[in-house]
Amino acid sequence: MKKTACGRASCGGMKMSVGSPEKQKILVVDDEETICRMMTRALVHAGYDVYCVLDGYKALELFEEHNGEFDLLILDYALPGINGYEVLARVRSLRKDARAILSSGYAAGETGYVRNGETHQFNGFLPKPYHMHELVKMVEQHLYDCKGEATSLGAGNGA
């Protein structure tokens, strides 16, 4: 049975989660509550467990609370206090194989995602605005291999 929790976190951010141990877990970090809700709804409908927070510091807390056992992170670039790149750098210091998609209204070059024609740090870039089916498609591309089988990632310290 799925359980959904939605409430205000102590830092003023919203935290939504839908949990089930057998499904792939996605952490969404976006400072716009409406975007968090839409992404959560679309990804839950697609069959994923989704945890959504509104700032980078809450994302780091949640990542540690779950021992880094997220299959994918979707990070906004511009977040209050700490940007998406800084969140990913800290996450990767805990789990080197963490996968992440950068989602931003800024152009890829403006965020630093593309430098000299090469991508840096993130596994993918999803420019805003986008349709929810584009989000789900990108998530599937990063979680499943070409045979449609779930890819396996070890948790903790890149293991």
- CATH code for the domain in which residue 28 is found: 3.40.50.2300
DSSP tag of 50: E
- For residue 9, the enclosing domain spans 4-143
Task: Evaluate the CA torsion angle 38, 39, 44, 47 in order and state its sign.
Answer: positive
Q: Say if residue 3's pLDDT is above 50.
A: no
- Statement: the pTM of the whole predicted model exceeds 0.85: no
Residue 151 placed within a domain: no
Per-residue model confidence (pLDDT) at position 105:
79
Q: What is the pLDDT of residues 66-85, one digit of tens each?
A: 999 999 999 998 899 899 98
Q: Which two tokens stand for residue 33?
A: 């509550």
Residue 106 placed within a domain: yes
Domain count, the chain: 1
Residue among 82, 84, 94 at smallest CA distance from 125? 84
